[in-house]
Structure 1
Amino acid sequence: MGNPKKKSKKVFIPLAAVVALAIGGAYYYYAEYSRYIKTDDAHVDSDNVAVSAKALGRIAKLYVDEQDSVKQGQLVAELDSTDLMAQKGQAEAMISQAQANQVQAEAKLAYDQENIKVLEVNLARAREDYDRAKQQIAGDVITKEQFGHIKKSYEAATAQLAAAKTQLSVSRSQIASANAAIGSANAQVGVIVSQLRNAKLYAPMDGVIAKRWLLAGDVAQPSQSIYTITNTSKLWVVLFIEESKLSGVHIGQAADFTLDTYPGVTFTGKVYAIGSNTAGQFSLIPANNASGNFTKVTQRVSVKVSIDGTRGEEPVSKYRILSGMSAVVKIIKD
Structure 2
Amino acid sequence: MLKKFLTPATILIILGALIGTSLVLYAWRLPPFTSSIEMTDNAYVRGYVTTLSPQVSGYVVDVPVQDYQSVEKGQLLARIDDRIYRQKLAQAEAALATQRAALDNSRQQETAAQARIASSEAAVDSVNADLEQAESQSNRQDSLIRSGVVATSAQEQAHAARDRARAAMAQAKAAVEVSRQDLQTIIVNRNSLEAAVANAQAAVELAKIDLSNTEIRAPRDGKLGEVGVRVGQYVAAGTQLMAVVPKDVWIIANFKETQLAGMTVGQPVEIRVDALDRKVLKGRVERFSPATGSEFSVIKADNASGNFVKIAQRMGVRIAVDDTTEAASLLTPGMSVTVRIDKSVGPA
Q: Give the TM-score, by structure 1 length.
A: 0.75
> What is aligned with 2:57?
58
Provide the C-alpha distance between the structure 2 equivalents of 1:295 and 1:19, rounded to a whole number of angstroms: 27
Correspondence 1:99 to 2:103: yes
Provide closer, same or farther for how the CA distance between residues 26 and 51 of structure 1 changes in structure 2, counting only shifts above 3 A: closer
Residue 245 (structure 1) aligned to one of 239, 251, 259: 259
Provide the C-alpha distance between the structure 2 equivalents of 1:287 and 1:25, rounded to a whole number of angstroms: 31
- How far is the alpha carbon of 1:9 from its aligned partner? 10
- How far is the alpha carbon of 1:190 from its aligned partner? 3.3
Correspondence 1:89 to 2:93: yes
> What is aligned with 2:333?
323
- How far is the alpha carbon of 1:25 from its aligned partner? 4.9
More strand by share: 1
- Assess if the C-alpha contact under 8 Å between 1:109 and 1:172 holds in 2: no
Provide the C-alpha distance between the structure 1 equivalents of 2:191 and 2:20, rounded to a whole number of angstroms: 93
> What is aligned with 1:272?
286
Structure 1 residues 107-134: Cα deviation after superposition (integer angstroms, max 9, x where no partner): 3124213302321211311320342244
Look up the SS of the partner of 1:247 in the other structure.
coil
- Assess if the C-alpha contact under 8 Å between 2:138 and 2:162 holds in 1: no
Question: Which shifted more, 15-24 or 123-132?
Answer: 15-24
**5+ long unaligned stretches in structure 2:** 1-5
Residue 217 (structure 1) aligned to one of 234, 240, 245: 234
- Assess if the C-alpha contact under 8 Å between 1:213 and 1:226 holds in 2: yes
- Assess if the C-alpha contact under 8 Å between 1:123 and 1:158 holds in 2: no
Provide the C-alpha distance between the structure 1 equivalents of 2:332 and 2:71, rounded to a whole number of angstroms: 17
- Assess if the C-alpha contact under 8 Å between 1:267 and 1:316 holds in 2: no
Provide the C-alpha distance between the structure 2 equivalents of 1:135 and 1:332, rounded to a whole number of angstroms: 120
- Assess if the C-alpha contact under 8 Å between 1:98 and 1:182 holds in 2: no
Tell me the matched-pair count: 318
- How far is the alpha carbon of 1:46 from its aligned partner? 1.0
Residue identity matched to 1:252: G
Provide the C-alpha distance between the structure 1 equivalents of 2:339 and 2:44, rounded to a whole number of angstroms: 9
- Assess if the C-alpha contact under 8 Å between 2:251 and 2:318 holds in 1: yes
- How far is the alpha carbon of 1:43 from its aligned partner? 0.7
Provide closer, same or farther for how the CA distance between residues 321 and 97 of structure 1 changes in structure 2, counting only shifts above 3 A: same
Structure 1 residues 72-98: Cα deviation after superposition (integer angstroms, max 9, x where no partner): 344556675246414422432233322
Q: 5 Å matches for 1:224-263?
A: 227-232=242-247, 234-263=248-277
- How far is the alpha carbon of 1:291 from its aligned partner? 7.8
Residue 124 (structure 1) aligned to one of 125, 128, 142: 128
Residue identity matched to 1:58: S
> What is aligned with 2:220?
205
- How far is the alpha carbon of 1:209 from its aligned partner? 3.1
Q: 5 Å matches for 1:164-183?
A: 164-178=176-190, 180-183=192-195
Aligned sequence identity (%): 21
- Assess if the C-alpha contact under 8 Å between 1:65 and 1:212 holds in 2: yes
> What is aligned with 2:342?
332
**5+ long unaligned stretches in structure 1:** 1-7
Structure 1 residues 183-217: Cα deviation after superposition (integer angstroms, max 9, x where no partner): 43134313531552364355443223336676763
Residue identity matched to 1:44: V
Provide closer, same or farther for how the CA distance between residues 156 and 309 of structure 1 changes in structure 2, counting only shifts above 3 A: closer
Residue 108 (structure 1) aligned to one of 112, 123, 145: 112
Provide the C-alpha distance between the structure 1 equivalents of 2:126 and 2:314, rounded to a whole number of angstroms: 96
Residue identity matched to 1:205: R
> What is aligned with 2:314?
300
Provide the C-alpha distance between the structure 2 equivalents of 1:35 and 1:226, rounded to a whole number of angstroms: 47
Q: 5 Å matches for 1:183-198?
A: 183-194=195-206, 196-197=208-209
Provide closer, same or farther for how the CA distance between residues 283 and 11 of structure 1 changes in structure 2, counting only shifts above 3 A: closer
Question: Which shifted more, 234-243 or 19-28?
Answer: 19-28
